[in-house]
Structure 1
Amino acid sequence: MDSDSLDWIWGDFNNSPNLAEFIEEVEDENYLLFDSNDDDKSDSSSESSFNNDCSLLIGDKRTALELNEIVNDFKNQYDKTLSELDSTTDGELEDGNHKSVDLLYSDALEAIKTNLSNVELEWRNTLYEYTVNEKNVPESYTKTTSIEKLIILYANNFVEQFKIKYPNRRQLVLILLNECGVQKCVCTTIKPSRLVYPNLRDLISYSEFVAKHITYIKLEDPVTVPNKIMSPTTTIEMQTANCFEMAILLVSFLIGCECNAFVVYGYATEIVCNNDLKKVKIDLEEYDPQKSDSKNISEDLDDANSLEPTNDLCSEYVKFLLEEQQNKTVMKDEVKEIDFNDSSDSLFGKRVHAWVIIIPLQIEDENINEVPYFIEPSTGERKEISDENYTGIEAVWNHRNYWVNLQSSGVGCTQYNFTLTNTKCWENFLPDKPQSLRGETLDLKHNENTTFKQLVMPNSWVNVLEVPRNKYHMLYPSGKKVVTYMNAIKEFYADYIMPDGLIEKNTFFTDSEYVNKTFVTEIYKHRIDKLISVETKYTTKENETVEYFRSGRDDFLNSHTFYGACNNIKTKRFVTFFNLRLDSMAELNIDENSFTTTFNDRSDLLFCRKCIFQKTEKNDCHNLNVKRKPTSIVEKYLRDESKHKDQDIATISFNLESNSIYVQYQYGEGQITQSSRLFQKPTMTRNEEFDTKSVIEDIVYPYEGHLNTHEAYIMLQDMIEAEKEALRNVSKLEDDIIKMIEIRCRERIVFKLKIDSLDWDRNHGIRKLLQNEKDKKLALSKRDKAKQIDNSLPYHVIIKRLFTQDKIALNVREKIIQNFTQNTKKRFIRTKKLFITKQFKLQSMVKALETDRFKEVELKNKTLLLCSLLKNELNVLALRMERYNETRIDRYNILASYLNSYPDFKTLSPLKLYF
């Protein structure tokens, strides 16, 4: 074991409490999307930091000071609450009872969630009142132009004629109120726009973004159209929308990226309208982290030297039959679900819904036959027109025109003709030209002899759609989204929100109560240890855990599968490596008493080595770094065509118990047996002669002949040297495994993320981190000189000094555990204090906005942006506290089991693990 293998434990132990707290805080908080204040500083420093944040957003320090004066009106209440928190947490930290600690975390989380819900409700009301206020919105939101009045007049006449002609049809959704109570045409509510972010460039990315960024709310009355629809700008600001508002927002983005998209007004099932996926059962799909890598590799290897794909020998008719059978099975399942919905839903076929349809442009190429398809805004998923969850269509519209469906409505949309220029199937609101449906621009220039000017749809009254960078990075309204299915719960997080880099977590259950877990997938991003996903299968005997990594690790780990305890060398595990190791090791299979190693492309043609160890006592099963004694080693080699088969070694078996070496050679052509030689290692002294009976030969090829005495002696010496080399390789492999387990133990306890140096939105945190690191090193050097402690010494020297101070191993171990638990609690409490600080800042500015103390509109808008930043910060802090509470027991168990396996604490009773 390395001498500094436990430096990560003793690093905090050697530091003073205040300095350790400062180091941990900087390490935890430097990956936030916002600049946080240091909790250890005084109130004045916190205020100055807040002034800097305000001036950074507002651009004027004088205005920032004015805003800070408003905030100070609530400072007395803030100081009182914070002092009460300090007095309570100091006493709680000294309590070592496990139940009381759990109660501390649970009560703190409940209080934080309650405060957060109250703050969100207060902020949402203030934001809505501010958004719909006539003083804060553009003139186009509150007034109608002459062309808009003409369109409204024309639309009312069109609706009345439609009522007379089709009295049994529903009222058309053509003119609705906006957020300011002004009548607007739904076509002018669409604002074609594109966002500036490079990740948003096509239909799929925009569909997923809208589904993630906006919280879906169902209609108050499921069978009627709402009489008021918010503009896309207000939808982005509020981040909540019904189906019509989400569809309009998505179509605005899709038209902006040159897609022929339309808003659909029609009917859907209860599952779609309520976005209730609890009746949907999803399949258990294991995460494959190499899908994207395999695509890139296949593109890179597409050259003349690459292997040609094998011919597909399957008949086209057989493929057709298999596909038809599969479609029948799928249709049966879908029909069962639809029948279930029809019988259980009294409003089936009457629930109003809005979604998006993409009508592909006309292409002259006969080989390309694209059909229209739907996009569900609430999920961002593509749906085919044959999807029976969509039961009918009343009308469609875009930013240029409005079309009413004249086709008979049945169950489903498969029978519809989506050629909007067909007047027998669709009734257009304005006179339409065919080129407007092909994505071309309308030609508004007319000849001089033209006596009639065609009425066209006016430009949109909505401002250009913009998403602030802080909201874009948060991705979800609160940084988190939870989707509940019949048999699973999926959790999504924005990048850098969770302290361990978690971005997605899928949990599958066996029951509808979501109690018994069967499979959990956790996907990570921006991890320094290159971890990208962890899969855990829960069974009655032992849990199976699979870890996947990106390339770039020092140990070249690709995947790591283990059963049961993660830090026991005797735990059954299976490890794969990238093809970058110098020893060409590809796979490693570890059982209780054996190692099996697989190699690729070695020059000596070795492809497998298996080592069996001597069985140890049960008391040593938890000892991580006790190296075991091998009893036998077996090495297997590939065929070397340059050698004769009776000279080409296939298998070498080193039996260390019987002190023999058994060599088997490759099979010859037409042979069913192998030639072999058994070497009995000598136990005599060097002065005695070589015993020819120590070599037993079994040569199948009759012309090869047996070895003479000199040849047998030389070969025996070679086999003895090969055995020594095999023992060295096994010992080195065991050291590598122990080191790998220790490193993974450390990486599971310590959360470290990596920020790209080219990330413009977060590199300011890197600069701050580097400066803090320099300050820490300077502070550490001064303290070490004062205490005359050299932290650069290896671990075994430090631990010897500690044992000279306190020779009782129990006391040393208790100090480690106590320091770990205190640091964990302090980090949680610091986050809670920071939450309260941000909460009071946000509430004070919201109160200031409500009292109308801001006279300038620009200052109001910038203050609103600052409030939005603070609200995002509160969501992030709440999620971090929740994650700290979820992982603290697992991190403690990993540390405790690690200390149980350490030799210096072997004589002590093992630490108790909590589950």
Structure 2
Amino acid sequence: MTTLKPPTEEMISPVMSHMMVKDEGSQTRLPKISIQEISRLSSATRFEDEKHESIENFEPEEVVSKVTTLFSGEDVHSVRSSDEAEMAQQCLSSVEWIFDTSTTDVGAIDLAFPENLDPKFKEVECLPLSYFTLNAKERLLLAFAENFRRQFVVSPEYAGRRPLVLAPKNECGVQKFVCTTIKPTPFLIPKIIGSWEECASFVADFIIYEPLENPLQLPPRLISPDTLLRQRRGNCYEMATLLCSMLTGAGFAAMVVSGCATIETTLNDQRRVPCPFVPEDPVLEPESPAPMNKNKYELRGPPDLRSKFMVELEEKALQKELEEEERRLQEERDKSEELAKRPPDRFFGRRMHAWVAIIENAPWCYKPRPKVYNDEGEEIIPDPTAFFIEPSTGFRHETSSPKYLRIESIWNQHNYYINRQEPTENLLADMRWDLKNTDHWEHFLPAEPFELRVGESRDQDLEPGNQATLLVEKHLDILPSWVQKLRISLKDFESRFPNEEKSIYYKKALYQRYAPYFCYDGLMKRLTIFGDLDYQKPLKRWEWYENRMDYLNLIKIDFETKQIEESFIQGRKDCLKYFSHNAEPHQPKTFYFFDHPRLDCLRMMQVMPEKYVFHYNNREDLCYYQEFQTKPKERIRCHAKSLMEITEKFNRNEKVPVNKDIAIRQFQLTHGKIFLQFQYAADAITASTREFLKPPKPDYGEEIIFDPLQTNGYNANPLENPPTQAELYFLLLDQLKREETLKKIFEKRCTEYEELLNRRKNEMLNPRLEFSVFDPLRNEGARRIRLEEYEEERIRKEIAKLQDPDFLAPYLVLYERRKPNFEESWAAYNACLSDLKSRYTNLLNELQRRYEDLTSEARALKKFMSRFQDQFDDFDYDRLIKEAKNIELNKRMVQQRLILTHEEAQRKYEKVKESLLGDERLHLRKAAAFN
């Protein structure tokens, strides 16, 4: 196993020897500023030169073969056209970085450590000092990183590997180590706290993704996450660094991954990816009554007299036709998928990309780990696993995803690791994520983080015997991030999309999202499914709404059938839940309601050209179905006169006998008949029925004449007595009353239906939005009103404190427009004093009552103790003595308050009396003197 070593003392340049510092023990430490280049790279250079000279003498076919050999496991397509020489030259130029000796300097760190004294990045001049300067520890860390990179280049184990991303230039043109660019920051936004989905979605929505200028080379820069949040435009490495900073601050063990990915991933091309946001349509069916138990006396169906042989032949022929149709459809699907495929990528496996990996069960993560037990029931520590997050989309991908082809290195705020595992046939699915294993991961700093040290724990730091070891151990660690604290305002988090809207093209789908209150109708999301790859033939569309006063939530449009479905959240006055209708006029319409808040328990309403159907739930009369049939010519006009037939259905009422419990009631208005079907009895195969012919309507004031010949019925149980004429007469009267009631209900339903359609039409033409009073971004007006009311109340209280109390104001309300005369003034005077006197009288009476109650209670307790004195133990006796003392104390307090209240009543009565006599609004003193 080859291990990359830190720079030694012999590798330090003599020029930098004067910068060596001494410890207190006069021991030499590593320099704080710089290390010179590694002294000997001649062998590696000769090796690269030999490869370069040998490849120049190859023929085009040999060049392709050599490239295929060098890129083992990569998709390099052979050249078999007439332009073989030109294609081979292009392939050779694309991999020139492998054979050129200049590749040893790819990603090199300038050990002169240049700084930018005039920092400026896209008109941003007020940058912190850490952005364009390097302190001593940063320079030492960069020196170690350069040594680490050079050993990686010359190591035979990593021959042919991509260059390492160690210290790209930041926005100020200063090289910064990638681990220090990560700034773990927690955000006080409720949706982000503890949710990697919200963090990933925010980064993907807030930042505009820019592909690398040259995906075969290292990223030209790596700006800070703080600058990226202000600029809102960056490449995959910058977005991955920002996402890693947010996830780490939220408590996840996130790491930035640098490797190779497919061209669709590097370009963020989703046009060949099925849309993951297609919703599943809820099935809303009318609830049917509970099915009856199967009866053993149920009639059997007619026997099947067909030939079994002919039936088998028909089934085989039908199965063959279905298989042929399925084969034809599969061939069409395969052909369309083949046409939709992207042409082969000659740079497959070499396009650099960065994403984020979250390591589950990581030792340094404080998130709770799932408990895993072995076969013996003992708790064990599970092996670390990982899943990927694509920063450009915010989607989660497993390690077996074909989007990612190779991992070169990973890093976080603690350390940098090189992947030593070769990709298998399953690409990255078989990778091991135990960073303690140095056979799988090469560490930049072997001792960081502390949790990855084998055989050590944090408890050892507190032992006195390890203090000397800790003082001797002075290994290098990652210094804190040079990036200033990340800030995301609530407004930026809410309106996260650039220009407050964003569109993503998926395979035959267009997904559009908008910021809240950006669209005047409250539209938040729109998903359109197309029938072609050119996005010209829409098939279906879903539109999601929020913050609407009509509580509209979702609209689904089917362009083929022209069917429109609207869904609402609970809160409407009409309790509408779902509305389905067609764009064509006079088509069936379906309404679903929240039945619990409605007084009539209406659950569903179906309106068809010649029929109105209503479904109910949990009604007191147990009716669950009503159907009103109208005349064909009256389908536009909704009125009781257009009714032809009314049908009602009921559930079983256990309080009523079966022969009197109506199951189906039907009014045939055109024939003047009333049909009743009663509930099925237990183990019965038929139900009793009754039919009436409606008698002629009597004159005003006369009763209905009942004719027994105008009714007939069937009794399912012959042992029961037939109903009497009186019972039939009252039953007929009840049905006639119910018929008139149903006609009124129908007219009411028609009115409700028309009002509902007009209301929905007005709500769609003039949508209105609302916001909560607790919305900090839009309640400025409400906040200003509340502050004004609070200030007015405060001023009123201050004025009231400075002014004397007005005892006479309640009694002069009747005389606001005129002055009271002498009698009215004396009446107000006497009323005021009478109320004051009665108030204090009631208060004194209440205190006197409480004093008497305490006195009687003390007397009763004293009598009880004297009578049963010998029967108490010490504990009970002390408790009773303490209770007696409390009663005596309360008695004295009430007595003292009674005396003080009496004195206060006398003083206040005289004061109010003097105040009323001197009040100018009554003029009582002048009137008394005049009299």
Q: TM above 0.5, one fold?
A: yes
2:378 paired with 1:365: no
AA of the residue aligned to 1:172? L
The whole-number CA distance in structure 2 between the counterparts of 1:474 and 1:561 is: 32
* Structure 1 unaligned spans of 5+: 1-127, 292-332, 772-915
Cα deviation, residue 451, structure 1 = 2.8
Q: Give 2:411's aligned residue.
A: 397
Cα deviation, residue 258, structure 1 = 1.2
| Residue in structure 1 matching 2:605, options 585, 588, 608 | 588
2:154 is paired with a residue whose SS is helix
2:152 paired with 1:146: no
Cα deviation, residue 408, structure 1 = 1.4
Q: Give 1:789's aligned residue.
A: none
The whole-number CA distance in structure 1 between the counterparts of 2:134 and 2:211 is: 29
Cα deviation, residue 345, structure 1 = 1.5
**Residues 275, 506 of structure 2: 8 Å contact kept:** yes
Distance verdict in 2 for CA 1:584–1:280, change over 3 Å: same
| Residue in structure 2 matching 1:761, options 757, 774, 777 | 777
Q: Give 1:505's aligned residue.
A: 526
Distance verdict in 2 for CA 1:576–1:658, change over 3 Å: same
AA of the residue aligned to 2:562? N
The 5 Å alignment of 1:7-22 reads none
The 5 Å alignment of 1:891-906 reads none
The 5 Å alignment of 1:328-339 reads none
The 5 Å alignment of 1:498-647 reads 498-539=519-560, 542-565=561-584, 571-616=588-633, 621=636, 629-647=642-660
1:677 is paired with a residue whose SS is strand
Q: Give 2:270's aligned residue.
A: 277
Distance verdict in 2 for CA 1:653–1:745, change over 3 Å: same
* Residues 840-865 of structure 1 deviation map (CA, whole Å, 9 limit, x = unaligned): xxxxxxxxxxxxxxxxxxxxxxxxxx
**Residues 120, 172 of structure 2: 8 Å contact kept:** no
1:210 is paired with a residue whose SS is helix
2:724 paired with 1:708: yes
Q: Give 1:787's aligned residue.
A: none
2:389 is paired with a residue whose SS is strand
The whole-number CA distance in structure 1 between the counterparts of 2:391 and 2:687 is: 68
Q: Give 2:512's aligned residue.
A: 491
**Residues 420, 440 of structure 2: 8 Å contact kept:** yes
1:735 is paired with a residue whose SS is helix
* Residues 16-72 of structure 1 deviation map (CA, whole Å, 9 limit, x = unaligned): xxxxxxxxxxxxxxxxxxxxxxxxxxxxxxxxxxxxxxxxxxxxxxxxxxxxxxxxx
Distance verdict in 2 for CA 1:626–1:748, change over 3 Å: farther
1:499 is paired with a residue whose SS is coil
AA of the residue aligned to 1:701? N
2:715 paired with 1:699: yes
The whole-number CA distance in structure 2 between the counterparts of 1:172 and 1:533 is: 49
Distance verdict in 2 for CA 1:563–1:744, change over 3 Å: same
Cα deviation, residue 130, structure 1 = 6.0
* Residues 519-566 of structure 1 deviation map (CA, whole Å, 9 limit, x = unaligned): 100001111111111111111xx411111111111000111111225x
Deviates more, 1:606-615 or 1:359-368: 359-368
| Residue in structure 2 matching 1:431, options 428, 433, 446 | 446
Distance verdict in 2 for CA 1:556–1:414, change over 3 Å: same
AA of the residue aligned to 1:610? E
2:665 paired with 1:652: yes
* Residues 191-218 of structure 1 deviation map (CA, whole Å, 9 limit, x = unaligned): 0002222221122211111111111111
Q: Give 1:161's aligned residue.
A: 151
RMSD over equivalenced CA pairs, Å: 3.2
2:237 paired with 1:220: no
Distance verdict in 2 for CA 1:556–1:670, change over 3 Å: same
The whole-number CA distance in structure 1 between the counterparts of 2:337 and 2:583 is: 40
* Structure 2 unaligned spans of 5+: 1-117, 285-332, 363-368, 374-380, 788-931
Q: Give 1:99's aligned residue.
A: none
The whole-number CA distance in structure 1 between the counterparts of 2:180 and 2:624 is: 69
**Residues 572, 592 of structure 1: 8 Å contact kept:** no
* Residues 204-244 of structure 1 deviation map (CA, whole Å, 9 limit, x = unaligned): 21111111111111111111121211110111001111110
Deviates more, 1:155-164 or 1:608-617: 608-617
Q: Give 2:483's aligned residue.
A: 462
The whole-number CA distance in structure 2 between the counterparts of 1:683 and 1:364 is: 80
2:739 is paired with a residue whose SS is helix
* Residues 332-373 of structure 1 deviation map (CA, whole Å, 9 limit, x = unaligned): x99x99999796211111111100111112547215957311
2:232 paired with 1:239: yes
**Residues 390, 413 of structure 1: 8 Å contact kept:** yes
Q: Give 1:40's aligned residue.
A: none
The 5 Å alignment of 1:37-186 reads 131=121, 135-165=125-155, 166-186=158-178
The whole-number CA distance in structure 1 between the counterparts of 2:481 and 2:338 is: 39
Cα deviation, residue 734, structure 1 = 1.1
Cα deviation, residue 644, structure 1 = 2.2
Q: Give 1:33's aligned residue.
A: none
Distance verdict in 2 for CA 1:255–1:432, change over 3 Å: same
**Residues 569, 737 of structure 1: 8 Å contact kept:** no
The whole-number CA distance in structure 2 between the counterparts of 1:357 and 1:572 is: 50
Q: Give 1:248's aligned residue.
A: 241
Distance verdict in 2 for CA 1:448–1:689, change over 3 Å: closer
**Which TM-score applies when normalising by structure 1?**
0.61
Q: How high is the sequence identity, in percent, across the aligned residues?
A: 31
2:211 paired with 1:204: no
AA of the residue aligned to 2:353? H
Distance verdict in 2 for CA 1:144–1:696, change over 3 Å: same
| Residue in structure 2 matching 1:385, options 360, 375, 399 | 399
* Residues 740-776 of structure 1 deviation map (CA, whole Å, 9 limit, x = unaligned): 11111111011211110011221014568999xxxxx
**Residues 287, 521 of structure 1: 8 Å contact kept:** no
**Residues 448, 477 of structure 2: 8 Å contact kept:** no
Q: Give 1:266's aligned residue.
A: 259
2:706 paired with 1:690: yes
Distance verdict in 2 for CA 1:270–1:688, change over 3 Å: closer
Cα deviation, residue 434, structure 1 = 5.9
**Residues 512, 527 of structure 2: 8 Å contact kept:** yes
Deviates more, 1:504-513 or 1:701-710: 701-710
The whole-number CA distance in structure 1 between the counterparts of 2:704 and 2:663 is: 32
**Residues 232, 248 of structure 1: 8 Å contact kept:** yes
Deviates more, 1:408-417 or 1:376-385: 408-417
The whole-number CA distance in structure 1 between the counterparts of 2:554 and 2:400 is: 35
Cα deviation, residue 647, structure 1 = 1.2
The count of aligned residue pairs is 595
Q: Give 1:734's aligned residue.
A: 750
Which of these two proteins has the greater Rg computed from alpha carbons? 2
Distance verdict in 2 for CA 1:563–1:577, change over 3 Å: farther
* Residues 351-402 of structure 1 deviation map (CA, whole Å, 9 limit, x = unaligned): 1110011111254721595731111111111111111111110000001110
The whole-number CA distance in structure 2 between the counterparts of 1:436 and 1:459 is: 18
Cα deviation, residue 129, structure 1 = 9.6
Cα deviation, residue 698, structure 1 = 1.3
The whole-number CA distance in structure 1 between the counterparts of 2:458 and 2:349 is: 37
**Residues 356, 376 of structure 1: 8 Å contact kept:** yes
2:397 is paired with a residue whose SS is strand
Cα deviation, residue 571, structure 1 = 4.2
1:177 is paired with a residue whose SS is coil
The whole-number CA distance in structure 1 between the counterparts of 2:235 and 2:619 is: 62
Cα deviation, residue 694, structure 1 = 1.4
The whole-number CA distance in structure 2 between the counterparts of 1:243 and 1:442 is: 40
1:514 is paired with a residue whose SS is coil
**Which TM-score applies when normalising by structure 2?**
0.60
AA of the residue aligned to 1:659? G
1:583 is paired with a residue whose SS is coil
2:385 is paired with a residue whose SS is coil
**Residues 119, 127 of structure 2: 8 Å contact kept:** no
2:211 is paired with a residue whose SS is coil
The whole-number CA distance in structure 2 between the counterparts of 1:688 and 1:495 is: 65
